Chains A and B, each alone.
Chain A
Amino acid sequence: MARQSALKHSTPKKRRALQEVSNPQAEHPAPGLDRLIHERLRLGIVSALAANESLTFNDLKSLMNTTDGNLSVHARKLEDAGYIAVTKSFEDRLPKTEYKLTTAGQSALESYLSHMETIIQQMRNR
């Protein structure tokens, strides 16, 4: 009831978020999947960082072939979840943003990989 009321009085963006929470399988049929890492660009960021000790904002932008804004938004979501750590510094007087995968991010990727492998294995066993 409270959720229905919240849905009615919220902005379209918040409404979508609330609907996703109320129906976690709305966008994908696989239950228990880490939605945060499942998004393509975020999955790419985490995978790229898993293969490197650290990558700068520009490295990731070039690797993912994306825009500044898009990368910032998705990197922020991963940072908020504690999957990646961000270090801001200056190099030759220019700002430098460096990303590293955290232990939580590493285990999230490992869980995601194992989830995908389980799905494939289940299909092969049918």
Chain B
Amino acid sequence: MSPIHIVSVPTEEPPALHDRAMDNLKYIRETMERATAFTNISGGGQVAIGVTALAASAIAARQNVFKNWLAVWCAEALVALLIAGWSMDRKARAAKMPLLSGPGRKVAFSLSPPILAGALLTVALYRAGLVNAIPGLWLLLYGTGVITGGMFSISIVPLMGICFMALGAVALMAPPEFANWFMAAGFGGLHIIFGFVIARRYGG
């Protein structure tokens, strides 16, 4: 019978404890990021964007030259971007989370590819003389961006994206004389309606 050797087994406890602590901190950070992304869409900002979009659609409807119509909407896009950035930053600061942390980046990365695709397709359609398709295309692509960006957010945000996509699909098939009405209903009306609901239910 061989003698029994008592071997001291190195305890695994400290590394496990360390790993668990790291895992817990990671969980807290991820939950806070998710929770911020959940409500960092500013309802007030959406309403403001809707109001400026309504004004833009009224101005754009008076333009007889397509280039001028396009210039009005490009200016509106810039104004909307500034309003969205400012209002989301304000809400993020109130929640003590930097805007360009995980949630802000997620929204930016989700929203920018369809916007970029929309800009490139606008140039291509303009060159091809298919400018009538541009309002529908914008509504459709903006809707896809809102859906993907809103996947980390409150359920009303992807719903807003679906409405934009549906409106864009109808606009693509509708006669071109209704284009300004679709732009007003989408970028104006939908932003105001959903912005109002978000502000009322999700604190600003």
Chain A residues with a Cβ under 8 A of chain B: 28-30, 38, 40, 43-44, 47-55, 59, 62-63, 91, 109, 112-113, 116-117, 119-120, 123, 126
Q: Are A63 and B18 in contact (CB under 8 A)?
A: no
Q: Are A120 and B25 in contact (CB under 8 A)?
A: yes
Q: What's the A-B contact tally at a CB cutoff of 8 Å? A: 77
Q: Which of B29-37, B49-57, B166-174, B186-194 contacts A (4 or more CB under 8 A)?
A: B29-37
**Chain A's interface: helix, strand, loop or mixed, by majority?**
helix
By a CB distance below 8 angstroms, the chain B residues around A91 are 201
By a CB distance below 8 angstroms, the chain B residues around A28 are 20
State in angstroms the CA–CA spacing of A91 and B17 once bound together.
45
Q: Are B35 and A123 in contact (CB under 8 A)?
A: no
State in angstroms the CA–CA spacing of A54 and B36 once bound together.
11
Interface residues in B32-51 (C-beta closer than 8 Å to A):
32-36, 38-39
**Neighbour of B17 across the interface among A29, A38, A52, A117, CB < 8 A:** A29
By a CB distance below 8 angstroms, the chain A residues around B117 are none
Q: Are B94 and A47 in contact (CB under 8 A)?
A: no
Q: Are B95 and A123 in contact (CB under 8 A)?
A: no
By a CB distance below 8 angstroms, the chain B residues around A51 are 31-33, 35-36, 95-97
State in angstroms the CA–CA spacing of A29 and B15 once bound together.
12
Q: Are A120 and B32 in contact (CB under 8 A)?
A: no
By a CB distance below 8 angstroms, the chain A residues around B38 are 48, 52, 55, 59, 63
Q: Are B24 and A50 in contact (CB under 8 A)?
A: no
Q: 5 closest Cβ contacts across the A-B interface?
A: A48-B35, A123-B18, A47-B31, A119-B21, A51-B32
Q: A29-B13, A120-B22, A123-B15 are in contact. Are A47 and B39 (CB under 8 A)?
A: no
8 contacts between A and B (CB under 8 A): A29-B17, A48-B35, A50-B32, A51-B36, A51-B95, A52-B39, A117-B25, A119-B21
Q: Are A63 and B34 in contact (CB under 8 A)?
A: yes
Cβ-based interface call for B14 (8 A): yes
By a CB distance below 8 angstroms, the chain B residues around A48 are 31-32, 34-35, 38
Cβ-based interface call for B155 (8 A): yes
Q: Are A113 and B154 in contact (CB under 8 A)?
A: no
Q: A43-B24, A59-B154 are in contact. Are A53 and B32 (CB under 8 A)?
A: no
State in angstroms the CA–CA spacing of A38 and B24 once bound together.
9
Q: A29-B13, A29-B17, A123-B15 are in contact. Are A116 and B35 (CB under 8 A)?
A: no
Q: Are A63 and B25 in contact (CB under 8 A)?
A: no
**Neighbour of A47 across the interface among B13, B15, B35, B201, CB < 8 A:** B35
Q: Are B32 and A47 in contact (CB under 8 A)?
A: yes
Residue of A29, A49, A52 with highest tally of chain B CB at under 10 A? A52
State in angstroms the CA–CA spacing of A50 and B96 once bound together.
9
Q: Are A119 and B17 in contact (CB under 8 A)?
A: yes
